[in-house]
Chains A and B, each alone.
Chain A
Amino acid sequence: DIVMTQSPDSLAVSLGERATITCKSSQSVLYSSNNKDYLAWYQQKPGQPPNLLIYWASTRESGVPDRFSGSGSGTDFTLTISSLQAEDVAVYYCQQYYSTPITFGQGTRLEIK
């Protein structure tokens, strides 16, 4: 199984500041035949299901604010929120869909400082 490890486990950032979450996979999730990284990011607010933010490591889902961006390739990935808003308080998860079992990171809790 591919193990996804996020850091940090929790993060407090001031409003308007940048928030950065990293995700590391235990093996590469880059598929050589199409040069795509099989990595997604989700946001989950209390009492709600996960909400897709990013897929293919850096493609923003329709309707997601452009302050959210994804980067990285192979085994190391980053989710960046360029200017934190109050509504961004949530838990963030990375997910690899390169191989089954599909696996998620343990989550990063983002709070306002």
Chain B
Amino acid sequence: EVQLVESGGGLVQPGGSLRLSCAASGFTISTYWMHWVRQTPGMGLVWVSRIKSDGSSTSYADSVKGRFTISRDNAKNTLYLQMNSLRAEDTAVYYCARGQGGYSNSWNDNWGQGTLVTVSS
């Protein structure tokens, strides 16, 4: 069974940093593009970032570019999101999601349960 389990969320002050992790099981992430998507409580879904299967290519939403860094450790079957210079507007549930079909741009066929990041003083 495919599973994605996020961790690392919590309460952080504005300007602070957090690193989110997404541990995968039931499949090998090394053959998939992986994504981070966030959702503000009560609001919609916003794509944050993606990374190629071998880590050689990354993309970011403009709102996080220069502050967030996506990475992966295929040997550990784990995806990461390093979040620096956090702002109140980064408060959200962060989901990791698997891309499909080997495409750089694809739908997301499996999602984790999410981890809540709260940026507040």
Contacts and interface: CB of A to CB of B under 8 A. Distances in A.
Interface residues of A, number: 23
B40 to A, nearest CB: 12
Interface string B77-114: 00000000000000000010100100101111111111
B47 A101 contact: yes
Interface residues of B, number: 23
Looking at chain A's contact residues, the main secondary structure is loop
Given A38-B105, A49-B95, A93 B62 contact: no
A52 B111 CA distance: 9
A79 interface: no
B44 A52 contact: no
Nearest to A61: B109
Interface stretch (A18-26, A80-88, A103-111): A103-111
A52 B108 contact: yes
Given A95-B108, A102-B105, 16 more contacts: A48-B113, A49-B111, A49-B112, A50-B45, A50-B108, A52-B107, A52-B108, A55-B107, A55-B109, A97-B103, A97-B105, A98-B105, A101-B62, A103-B47, A107-B44, A107-B45
Interface of A: 38, 40, 42, 48-52, 55, 61, 93, 95, 97-107
Interface of B: 35, 44-47, 50, 59, 61-62, 95, 97, 100, 103, 105-114
